[in-house]
Amino acid sequence: MSTIDDVDVLAGRLDLNLLRVFMAVMQERSITLAGSRLGLTQSATSAAVNRLRQQLNDQLFVRTRQGMEPTSLAIALATPVGNALGLIRDALEESRGFDARTTAREFRLLMTDVGELMFLPRLTAWVHEHAPGVRLSCRQVPRDQYGAELETGGADLALGMLPLGERDFVQQRLKDETLVCLACAGNPVARKRLTMDAFLSLPHVVIRAPAMGDRFVVKALGERAGRRKIVAEVQHYLSVPMILRDSPFLAVVSTSVAAELAGPNRLAALPLPFKLEPLAIRQFWHKRWNNDPGHRWLRSGIVSLFGRAARR
């Protein structure tokens, strides 16, 4: 149990700016990057980390090949410090009121390249129109790191087909997606209903992106999946329209991705010749953001743009 003296000591010595530096280094794993994010030089950031090291009597970050790795104390502090800074920001924002027209806030989003394709064109335009000072900062991290990123404050919100079953997270279903088959508009198969025979006999371009729905196709096809002829496997979507253009190849993508890619690339989106369960697209966040006015503003904007009631 802490005493009055403990509180006095903390109140007298602990500087919130040092905690901001701590969280920035925790998220960037680099003194230099953390400094540039905070508008400080490398040496000022290093000095700030050193002051915190002395105050907490712990190395906090150790230099390794992977960057500045946190010590066990730093890892233990990350979540409560992140929560505390979030509460302070909430309190300040609450007292001032969140004003989308004047805020200069940065929202850090996690999504896959499919997500960027699906969300960013409309979301960026909407943010620019309603909150010209807001910056969206999007990152891709491995699927299993989403929870840690949201928990430590490395990201504010995640979007996509990535359910986080863990405690302390909130998820909101935006809409259901289905998968369709993209083919060159000149492909004879694009002029009639796609049959299972045509689907299995034509060569496929398979996208092996982290959140791609090919695993659902394999599951739905069952033992027939092995009959698919795969001509190419790619990691992301950038090259897919160029590969399909003027080719006999097929690629399975979500309806939203098909809507973005088909028109400009003279491609046709064809219903699949088999049934698939709908795929839920959600937004996820840590529960500490529930009442944050800025966060609520962004979430409701995303719902209005991409929720079930939204119309293009």
Distances 276 to 76, 205, 215, 261 between C-alpha atoms, Å: 43, 19, 11, 21
171 binds DNA (CB under 7 A): no
71 binds DNA (CB under 7 A): no
Stretch that binds DNA, among 62-70, 148-156, 171-179, 265-273 (CB under 7 A): 62-70
Q: Which is nearer to DNA, 42 or 255 (CB)?
A: 42
Check if the beta carbon of residue 240 is closer than 8 Å to that of residue 234.
yes
103 binds DNA (CB under 7 A): no
Stretch that binds DNA, among 44-52, 129-137, 153-161, 277-285 (CB under 7 A): 44-52
d(CA 160, CA 81): 27
Stretch that binds DNA, among 45-53, 163-171, 211-219, 254-262 (CB under 7 A): 45-53
Instruction: Please pick, from the candidates 6, 8, 63, 195, the single residue that binds DNA as defined by CB under 7 A.
Output: 63
* Residues forming a β-bridge with 70: 61
Residue with tokens 């080719």: 247
* 1 to 40: interface string for DNA, x by CB under 7 A: --------------x-xx-----------xxx------xx
Nearby residues of 8 by Cβ (< 8 Å), 6 or more positions away: none
105 binds DNA (CB under 7 A): no
- Size of site (CB under 7 A) for DNA: 24
Check if the beta carbon of residue 181 is closer than 8 Å to that of residue 250.
yes
CB of 56 to DNA, least distance (A): 14
d(CA 298, CA 74): 30
CA 79 to chain centre: 19
Which of 310, 301, 298, 309 has the alpha carbon at shortest distance from 137? 298
Binding site for DNA (CB under 7 A): 15, 17-18, 30-32, 39-44, 46-51, 61, 63-65, 67-68
